[in-house]
Amino acid sequence: MSNADLGLALLAAVRAQRFELSADALQGYGPVGEHPSIDLAVAAFRPGGAPPLFANVLFSREHPQGLLADIGDEAGSVRNIRYVADVRNAAGDSLAWLPGADWNTIDFPPLAGTGPYRFVAPYPASLLKLMVLVAVARLVDQGRSSWTAPLAHDWRLRPVGDWAFDMMVVSCNEATSALVSLLHAKGAVAGDEIHLLFAALGLTTLRFENTRPDGGWRNADGAGVGQIQMSAWDALRLLWLIDPEAPPAPWLPAAAPALLGASRAHVLHCLRSQRLHHVLSSCSLLGVPGWVEGIPAEVEFAHKTGNTENYASDAGIARGPGRHYLVALTSSLGSRYAPDAGCVTTWRLPALGAAIDALMADLPAR
């Protein structure tokens, strides 16, 4: 199998879910009609020295049959996509995803890339906490903080590592604010240290704009939608640099220093302890009427999810019998498409997760 073959298989897997038929609460639970935006990236690591396989596919109302990202053998930046940033209107609504929104009248700011195909990058929701975790871990490796250092926020005093654990495992927003305030206090934001790091790694769609020294990072704080961005491909490549069993990143020089040092152990502990399996995996929802299996429970999925009314995302490292892969997804398929109050998105996303895992389990060794 080649990278192109994997891309074609991912295009087929997404098309098979018929996401355009997803029931939309904002349209009286009728089908959404326009194809939702889905940015999906997968990388498979095979045994025996076989080269990794990777592909990125993107769907939207402008590309309902999907696009295969043009990525070179070095797994560098996508070459045929012009990413534009998500936006909000004056009322704070996520403008692009309102029923009847006319994208031809919306001024989408440029995000990254100069390719011929435009893609409106959905807000990553709480997947953004992966960027926060990595930035804090870098402080720890540099001796500017430690996982055991006390950190106060909103009258609570807890170790940095505990805040990080809660941010990732139960997606605690208070914990995120505490760690964002730490990044500001240590100068990692004001000096644009985070963006310089991502730029040096070639991860040009990872943006963390307009957060505040008091820890504000959401819409009401002037950040959130339109200011914080992650494409699936760059989220996946960030995970590639975290995964201790992944091969060296081919898009970086062979002598490039590791992204993380000793701090990586706590980062992996946080990802592996995830309790919110409700997007590409679904074991947290077992017993909900109409349950659909996602990435199977027997596969260790060390990951982070995100969801709001308009968005659902998931990215992580999957290890199971006969497979080791990375998967990252951002989408405009938030809780307005959920079939039950216990769900955060349509069952079509865990079904896609199951299809991806089945594909990974059946990959040839060469």
Q: pLDDT > 70: what percent of the chain?
A: 99
Cβ proximity of 96 and 311 under 8 Å: no
Which are the contacts of 154, defined by CB distance < 8 A and separation ≥ 6? 174, 177, 178
Domain ranges (residues) in the chain: 3-361
Cβ proximity of 291 and 339 under 8 Å: no
Give pLDDT, residue 191. 72
Q: What is the pLDDT of residues 66-113, one digit of tens each?
A: 999 999 999 999 999 999 999 998 888 899 999 999 999 999 999 999
323 falls in which pLDDT band (50, 70, 90)?
very high
pTM of the complete model beyond 0.95:
yes
CA angle, 297 as apex, 296 and 302 as ends, to 5°?
A: 100
Tokens representing 331 are 């989408």
- The architecture CATH gives domain 3-361: 3-Layer(aba) Sandwich (3.40)
The SS3 of residue 25 is helix
Cβ proximity of 63 and 76 under 8 Å: no
What letter does residue 164 receive in the DSSP assignment? H
Give pLDDT, residue 50. 87
Q: Which position has the token pair 């919110």?
A: 276
Q: What is the pLDDT of residues 260-291, one digit of tens each?
A: 999 999 999 999 999 999 999 999 999 999 99
Q: Between residues 362 and 99, which one has the greater pLDDT? A: 99
